[in-house]
Chain A
């Protein structure tokens, strides 16, 4: 379960710390107390930044680092595809052997395949990804509402 890639991200997290964003969310995993505060910033359809601060196990913290590395700079549609693929892998109960196509999409995140065998830890790995999805909905919701407001004004 503890692949070197995961331990590397845990010890040297990418993009950690809170920076300006369009929306912020706070997610917790009540069963173990993992917490994350996550902000997203969009420019047009591009993920400009995902910044975060949190505490928790190596799996939850490394997963947030991998998320930052994978999603920042991507078009939203591509970022969503990565998030959905990661979700599919994590919900596979260890039954899914990532193929080349999946590895192309997930890069370092395929290292979490082993975590999917441990039901108690899947939530740790998904914490930041669910927070990102939520923050994105919030950011784009606001942007769309603002745009609508501008139109009516």
Chain B
């Protein structure tokens, strides 16, 4: 097995990278080395991010956009410079197109609510349609179900092929003149599938529908260029990309952010307020009511710096090499069935599988006893489990600090699980 993983092309210097992540040195269960393979749930944080968070609170903490004192100005500058960093990271044409939220769920709910309250031509209402896919995270299903129920619009979706990809064959029947919005994930959080968003964008543009992309599993792992993507909105979260929890991003095209109505009202999002009515601040502030997660934004800025210094292309190559190796090792295990693409092509470093009829909770528990952290369950994508007739899966997901040795630990751990329940 050592031979098999020698000469994997494109691997990063994980020995150096892992020194930045103190938690990866942790031992669990009486001296077992932690093998953290739950990166699709959340990533670990490098000291650079932890220091930025602590440094912000130790030296600069104040509320933003409010005071004239030194700390208020420093805090505001730090918060707004995090917006600049994120804008550059996703190649946004303008920094004003970057809205800070608390996570990707909030970003997606924000879009759904903007469209529910919008005037023509954006308004989602009776007689119009919303299109999603069967492989969405619940956070890109439920907001659209709510909008459909409240507005009377119809909810439709792309199904999946047996190989874990979108079945695009009915695209012309699904996306029609009635479609107001198409929402889909760029990379599946359960199967790792990388979706051909460009095909869907092209069809949506033909009929004048907006496209919302959930990039939660893409932004941490690959070059994300919102201009190349050509979608109208892109949502992602900070904590899966080495940033802290509590900070998410919604990128939206400038003209849409200008035209669409606010959702949450409060401080910061206004221009003037009287007892009768208010006018609103320009985007992005129009969508950032209340004191924002300032320290978390600063932490996300540090995470973006960290990832950019290594290079998203190199991270993508590293994960691709690891995925190729992991798919190969996993397929050697008897009774293991990969749920989703069974090769490393057009997929991210998230691999779901079942192991004979051993329940994923048992797989996860016995792996945990060996120090290996995976996620088990339906991964907030229950329709995918229903589609493939399984109650749940075990999911291993890798990141820039993951190593071939950890893939080996997983494969050996799974052999142990098989023997344990044999």
Instruction: Report B's interface with A, CB cutoff 8 A.
Output: 359-362, 365-366, 376-378, 382, 385, 391-392, 420-421
The reply to whether A124 and B366 contact each other, CB–CB distance below 8 Å, is no
Bound CA span A121–B369, Å: 14
Can you sample 26 A-B contacts with CB below 8 Å? A1-B365, A2-B365, A2-B366, A7-B421, A32-B377, A33-B377, A33-B378, A33-B391, A33-B392, A34-B359, A34-B391, A35-B391, A55-B359, A55-B391, A56-B359, A56-B361, A56-B391, A57-B361, A57-B362, A57-B365, A58-B359, A58-B362, A58-B421, A59-B361, A118-B365, A124-B361
Q: Shortest Cβ distance from B24 into chain A, in angstroms?
A: 23
Contacts of B361 in A (CB 8 A): 32, 34, 56-57, 59, 121, 124
Bound CA span A58–B365, Å: 11
A31 at the interface (CB under 8 A from B): yes
Closest to B382 in A: A33
Bound CA span A47–B382, Å: 37
Bound CA span A55–B385, Å: 14
The reply to whether B365 and A121 contact each other, CB–CB distance below 8 Å, is yes
Contacts of B382 in A (CB 8 A): 33
Bound CA span A39–B365, Å: 30
Bound CA span A55–B361, Å: 12
Residues A33 and B362 in contact in the complex (CB < 8 Å), given A2-B420, A56-B391, A58-B421 = no
Contacts of B360 in A (CB 8 A): 32, 57
Contacts of B377 in A (CB 8 A): 31-33
The range of chain A's interface size is 10 to 19
The reply to whether B392 and A32 contact each other, CB–CB distance below 8 Å, is yes
Contacts of B420 in A (CB 8 A): 2
Closest to B358 in A: A58
Contacts of A124 in B (CB 8 A): 361
Contacts of A32 in B (CB 8 A): 360-361, 376-377, 391-392
Bound CA span A51–B377, Å: 26
Bound CA span A57–B360, Å: 7
Bound CA span A33–B386, Å: 11
Bound CA span A2–B385, Å: 26
Contacts of B376 in A (CB 8 A): 32
Bound CA span A128–B377, Å: 19
Contacts of B359 in A (CB 8 A): 34, 55-58
Bound CA span A30–B376, Å: 13
List residues 54-83 of chain A with CB under 8 A from any CB of chain B.
55-59
Closest to A31 in B: B377
Contacts of B392 in A (CB 8 A): 32-33
Bound CA span A31–B392, Å: 10
The reply to whether B365 and A33 contact each other, CB–CB distance below 8 Å, is no
Q: Shortest Cβ distance from A82 into chain B, in angstroms?
A: 25
Q: Shortest Cβ distance from B231 into chain A, in angstroms?
A: 32
Q: Shortest Cβ distance from B376 into chain A, in angstroms?
A: 7
From B366, B385, B421, give the contact of A33 (CB < 8 A). Answer: B385
Contacts of A1 in B (CB 8 A): 365
Bound CA span A40–B259, Å: 61
* Residue of A1, A33, A55, A59 with most partner-chain B CB within 10 A: A33
Bound CA span A33–B384, Å: 13
Bound CA span A74–B291, Å: 61
Closest to B420 in A: A2
Q: Shortest Cβ distance from B388 into chain A, in angstroms?
A: 13
Contacts of B391 in A (CB 8 A): 32-35, 55-56
Contacts of A2 in B (CB 8 A): 362, 365-366, 420
List residues 114-148 of chain A with CB under 8 A from any CB of chain B.
118, 121, 124
Bound CA span A31–B360, Å: 12
